[in-house]
Amino acid sequence: SSALLALSAFSAVKPLAAPLEIDGQLNESAWKDADWEGDFVAYESASDKKVEAQTAFAFLADEKTLYLGVKCFDPKKEDLKPRADDQQVKFLFSPSGSSFDFYEFAFGFATNLPVRVDFASEGGNIHPEPYAPETRCWSVKTKDGWTLEAAIPLSSFYLTRNDKWSEKWLVNVGRRRGTEESSWAPVASKFAESKRMKTMEGFPKRALADDVAILDLNAKIE
């Protein structure tokens, strides 16, 4: 329903009429029309404040899935190698809009699986285990660097109940490029500083049928 995806004029998340193919190309018209964000900065604690390689990202959503698109520009693209630890993008989301808890997803260059998934509470001090969300991702090398496309079903944010779900999320996106680390939100020394994340609008409400809580992984079904 279009009501589920009603967006304000300032929203950074645009609605989709149909699911996207996750191929890393970002060549669909929906990505061309998306609201792209950028201007990544170095950590405030970094000795070198210069960011050599800039990053741009955008989000799209339908009633089931959040789509992530990233353009990783790189003036030394000829040195790019498929090593996820050297080249990766991290996304941090708080669907409740509170800095108390948040999700982290990290995707690397030339990998089709996430490098890291995590849920943290108490501002990042507690990490309940296990957290095993569903994701899809793909990245490709381009003439300007590399691009990434990922899909996260809204049901994968299952540690946040619908009654805590907000249209305004706290968000940060960070990039690791060798020894260079840059962040969309101005953070002191790490990406996951939840109190420093930025607010983004327009995230869709998760369907009631997808609001499923896993209460006991050890429960026996008889």
CA terminus-to-terminus distance, the chain: 38
pLDDT digits (tens, 9 = 90+) for 142-182: 999 999 999 999 999 999 999 999 989 999 999 999 999 99
The per-residue pLDDT for 218 is 54
The share of the chain scoring above pLDDT 90, in percent, equals 73
pLDDT for residue 212 = 77
pLDDT band at 2 (very low <50, low <70, confident <90, very high): very low
Residue of 49 and 29 predicted with greater confidence? 29
Return the bridge partners of 79, or none: none
Over 50: is that where the pLDDT of 215 sits?
yes
- 104 phi-psi bin (left φ>0, alpha ψ -120 to 50, beta other): beta
Contact assessment for residue 72 and residue 55, using Cβ atoms and an 8 Å cutoff: yes
pTM: 0.89
Model confidence band, residue 128 (pLDDT cutoffs 50, 70, 90): confident
Quick one: CA torsion of 97, 67, 208, 170, rounded to 10 degrees?
0
The average confidence (pLDDT) of the chain is: 88
Name the token pair of 69.
């698109």
78/187: higher pLDDT = 187
* Residues 139, 148: Cα–Cα separation, whole Å: 4
pLDDT of residue 11: 56
Q: For residue 130, is the peptide bond before it cis, meaning its omega torsion is within 30 degrees of 0?
A: yes
Convert the pLDDT of each residue in 12-24 to its tens digit.
Answer: 899 998 899 999 9
So what's the pLDDT on residue 7?
A: 34
CA dist., res. 19 & res. 27, Å (int): 14
The DSSP output letter for 29 is H
Q: What pLDDT digit, counting tens, does each position of 112-121 carry?
A: 889 999 999 9
Read off the pLDDT of residues 58-110 as tens digits, 9 standing for 90 and up: 999 999 999 999 999 999 887 787 665 789 999 999 999 999 999 999 999 98
Question: Of 22, 101, 102, which Cα lies nearest the Cα of 60?
Answer: 22
Separation of alpha carbons 135 and 138, rounded Å: 10
β-strand 102-108 against 114-120: which pairing, if any?
antiparallel
Cβ atoms of 186 and 196 closer than 8 Å: yes
User: In which band, very low, low, confident or very high, does the pLDDT at 214 lie, cut at 50, 70 and 90?
Assistant: low
Residues 75 and 59: beta-carbon distance below 8 Å = no
Cα dist from 139 to 121, 142, 212, whole Å: 30, 10, 30
Q: What percent of the chain has pLDDT over 70?
A: 89
The two structure tokens encoding residue 64: 């089931």
Handedness of CA 214, 216, 221, 222 (dihedral sign): negative
Whether residue 213 has pLDDT greater than 80? no
Look at residue 94 and give its three-state secondary structure.
strand
Integer CA distances (angstroms), 216 to 11, 52, 92, 156, 220, in order: 36, 46, 25, 16, 9
